[in-house]
Every structure is written in structure tokens, then in C-alpha cells.
Structure 1
């Protein structure tokens, strides 16, 4: 309940108070009973904000919505019919338990995807990460072609070295700066590392370098048979530059708070859903966990991509 109160107070400070001041400054409010009705109406805003906060905390953040897409993959005809499921940004911890992760993986498997792609920020709690690694390994049997994981920024914050050693003992395919061909197919999955560069120029250079590193084992002629996994959504640009038909990303949480399918505060170049660049497509996943423990107009999602000719 502490977090609900905190979010409500923040919304009150940054939305309600400025709205009242703006109305008083910019609108001519008659000094009569109409003014009283107007001000009385403003008292509804705190109630609405409190309601939205409670809804986002107790309900929407816990409702995993499923989305299904067809993606053309003309250069990998034998991969046609394969389905890749994607989860991202689970943020294991106080608001997403190991048991929640177990149930999420079972929910993903209900639709029988061939592959599960996890695009970072799953292992976000030093104490819980070892148990989560075990749960992820146990879930490999639910996905016939395996589970493929790429790193996010939060894994780095939470002792990635230890988690990497634990994952190395599992059947999970850890794609950190490397690529792997899916057994029995010509389909490649590549995982790019996260760029921590601060300024724009360094960020562009580093993510280009990290993308090249991720795909270096893939023959040039087979980049058109590749799915790039990357945590930051701007790697979609790099995937398109290389002719990779599909790039799956996360990181943004879809904005966490949205309105009619759009983020209320767009913080990134690509914030949510599909991005098309030439013949390449990228997807920005809304995430399964939260920065703050609530979501409004942006429910957590499980995305399914069926490859077609």
C-alpha cells in the first residue's frame, strides 16, 4: 500500500496541482455559483487518481495479456510455422516472485510456442536469482526448440557474473554477444549485449559494435534468417541495417502508464509495439514486471511471433 500512496501523491503533485493552477491563471472563472461548481468538479481529480493507482497496483499489473503476430521470413522457408514467444523485463524481486515466474512460464507454454525468447531484466534480485535460474531451466521442457536469453542492464546491476555461472550449468541458451542456430532449422538467434554509453555518439558506436559482435558467427548470406534479441529498443535500427528481418527488444515497459495504446510519457525513440524499417521489423515488448508496482493502460504482455513464408 506504501507504493500506491507514493504514486498517488506523485500524481497529485505533478498532475492535479499544475492543472488547478493553470485553470486559475488561464481561464476566466466567474465569481459566482458556477465557480463553486467548477472547483467542486476539481475535487474529483484526486479521487480519480487514487482509483487509477489502486487499479494499476491491485489489478492491471497482474494481468498478462497475450498478443499474436505473423512475421514474414522468406529466407528461412523451413522455419515457416515456428512460433517464438517473448517475455521481457520481469524484474524479479519484491513485486514479482519466483513463483510468479513459474506461473508466467506455464502461461506462455499454454499456446505451445516452439521457442521462448527472454529479452533481459529478468534476474533482478541477488537473493532470488539462483532460484529463478532453476525455474527457467525446468521450463525448458515446455518449449521444444528451447529457451534463449539475452542480457539486460539490470542483470549487470545484480551480480551478473554469478548468475552467468549458474545459467552455464542449465539447458538455457544464453546469448550474450553471440549467436546460435536453432537445432533442426536454418534459423539463427543472436543476442546483443546492453550498451551503457552515456552520450549519443558513443551509444550509437557501441551498440553498432555490440550488434556486429552478436552476429559475427552468422554467415553474411544467412542474416536474413536471423532473429536479433536485444534489450534496448534502438538495436532495432542496427538489425535493420544488417538486413535482419526481426529484432525483439524490451526495456521501456511500454511506458508503464499509457493512454489509448500510447505511452503517457514517451521516453525513448521506440516505446511500444511494432517498428518497421524497410523490409525489417522490430518489436518493443511492454514487459512483464514493473519499475513502480502498477500499470495503467499498459498491461504486461506475452507476445507470440509465428514465422511465415
Structure 2
């Protein structure tokens, strides 16, 4: 298992090197702009999603979804503070984080990270799942940092979110690349008629989740490719993040909707080109409203 994951990471790294080298050779498009400007030029994307069975109490609920912070790799606590300020300006009802808090190690001041995360407030809670880099940096310590910051991490499990006398289910699965995601276990004892929100770091997991009674999957992992070219799109996408690479999708032969955010930080190379870091604001609505 570890050898397979190592081979996958090495292959992705090699492809990324070739892609970045090609871009540099093709005219220096990743100069100061892609290293100094775009990686900090956050885009807030507003999307309205409509569902058949969303409870009336949850109509108009605003979810702020963010992912792939990659603290420690050209992203520090001062950048995290800016991100938190941007999120709080959106007045979220619910906050979802879909993995990769740190890049390769938890770092020197995890208590400060927790202190900053604790400044995020949402009446319906703060929820998270794990990503592959959370394993590289130490998943147990990452969970502790998230928990101290007020986040509930869902690891192949579910909980209920109540609003008034109605509720929805929120489900989280383990990372698809290096963890052991188990949607069957996560959905055990859930109400098949209830609106269900799934957190999965890797967007491709939607194909495994689609047969289950789920309405919306939130994911990250792909970074949108980080480097995109007109007419071509992403030069390279990571394993398990290539099918639903960025934006809003509908899973094949399923009611499951998917939103994949481009994420906040960078990895492998500190570059973004035509692929700005994204904070996503999703407003839930019912087809009956």
C-alpha cells in the first residue's frame, strides 16, 4: 500500500515538474504574477444550489467551503489570518473544510493555528474531513489542531445538524489517496430520506458515493490544477482529482451534486496561473421554494 502511494506521488511529481518546466519555457508566464500575485488573490465564488429534499428550515443556508490550505508551504499564520477574515465577512451559517491543513509537517506553532481557526464562527458548526497531506504531516495531530480550533472531523462517520425542529445529515469519509474511505460505514444508520451532505477530500470519490442516498459532495484536492492555460485547461491534475476538477458537477446517473473548490494554498510548486485560490459560498435552496 505504501509503495503504491509512493509510486503515485512520484509519478504526479514528475508530471508536475514537466508541466511547470514547459510553462516556463513557453514564455515565462509563471513569473512574478504567478508566484507573488495570483496565489494571494483570493476569489470568492457564489453558487446557488437547488435540491428536491432540502428541509424548509435550511433554505437559504450559506455554506462557506474552503480546502487545501497547505500551511508551511509558502503559506503562514499571517496568511491564515487573512483567509479567516475573508471567510467571516461572508457571515456563514455552516463552515466546511475538506482537508490538507498542513503541507508536510504540522509546524512549530500548532496552538496558534488552532487559535486562529477558533475565530471562525458559524451557528450550524464547523466540519472537516482529512486529506492526503494531513497524513503526510501526521493525521492525529492535525485532527487535534482542528478540534482545538472548533472543527469536528468526520472520519467515515456522520452526524446531524439541527435547525429549528428539522435536521440534515453531514457525512465525512477518509482520504481516498492514502486513507481508507468507507462510505458504507459512514452511512450506517443514516436516514435514507434525509438530506445528506458529504465531505470528501478527493472529488473522484463521488463515483463511489453516488449509489448512496446523498445530495451534495464537497471536495478539494485538485487545486484546479494550479496552472491552467487558455483552451487547454489544467496542465496536470492529481490522482483522484481529475474527473471533477473544479466547480459544480452532477454525478452520472445520480442525484448527487458535487462542488470541487480550487483550494487556498499551493503544493509542489508555489505557483498559480489562471487558477486563483477560491473561497466558495454555497447557498442551499429547495426546488419547492
TM-score calculated relative to the size of structure 1: 0.76
Counterparts in 2 of 1:1-309, with a 5 A limit?
14=22, 45=26, 48-49=27-28, 51-77=29-55, 78-124=57-103, 125-127=105-107, 128-139=109-120, 142-184=121-163, 185-196=166-177, 207=181, 210-222=182-194, 225-260=195-230, 262-267=233-238, 268-277=242-251, 278-291=254-267, 292-309=269-286
Distance 1:169 1:260, change over 3 A: same
RMSD of aligned alpha carbons = 2.4
- Counterpart CA distance in 2 for 1:193 and 1:266 is 20
Shift of 1:236: 1.6
Q: Could you list the runs of 5+ residues in structure 1 that have no partner in the other structure?
A: 1-8, 18-44, 198-202
Which consecutive segments of 4 or more residues in structure 1 shift more than 6 A? 9-12
In 1: Cα distance, 2:24 partner to 2:47 partner: 39
Query: Secondary structure of 1:52's match?
Result: coil
Judged with a 3 Å threshold, the aligned counterparts in structure 2 of structure 1 residues 13 and 111 are, in CA distance, closer, same or farther, namely: closer
Contact 1:239–1:246 (CA under 8 A) maintained in structure 2:
no
CA distance in 2, matches of 1:114, 1:100: 23
User: Structure 1 residues 241 and 57, CA, compared in 2 at 3 Å: closer, same or farther?
Assistant: same
Partners in 1 of 2:21 and 2:141 — Cα distance?
41
* Deviation, structure 1 residue 215: 2.2
TM-score, length basis structure 2: 0.81
User: Matches of 2:72 and 2:198 in 1, distance apart?
Assistant: 27
SS at match of 1:187: strand
- The 1:178/1:299 distance shift into structure 2, 3 A limit, reads same
The gaps in structure 2 that reach 5 residues or longer are 1-16
Within 2, Cα distance between the matches of 1:303 and 1:101?
16
Report the CA distance shift for 1:221/1:89 in structure 2 as closer, same or farther (over 3 A).
same
**Bigger CA radius of gyration:** 1
Deviation at 1:166, TM superposition (A): 4.3
What is the CA–CA distance in structure 1 between the aligned matches of 2:24 and 2:113, rounded to whole Å? Answer: 40
Partner Cα separation in structure 1 for residue 261 and residue 187 of structure 2: 22
Q: Kindly tell me: are residues 68 and 97 of structure 1, through their superposed partners in 2, closer, same or farther at Cα, counting changes over 3 Å?
A: same
The answer (yes or no) to whether the contact 2:61–2:284 under 8 Å persists in 1 is yes
* Number of aligned residues: 258
In the alignment, is the contact (CA less than 8 A) between 2:225 and 2:237 conserved in 1?
yes
Query: 1:16 offset after TM fit, Å?
Result: 7.3
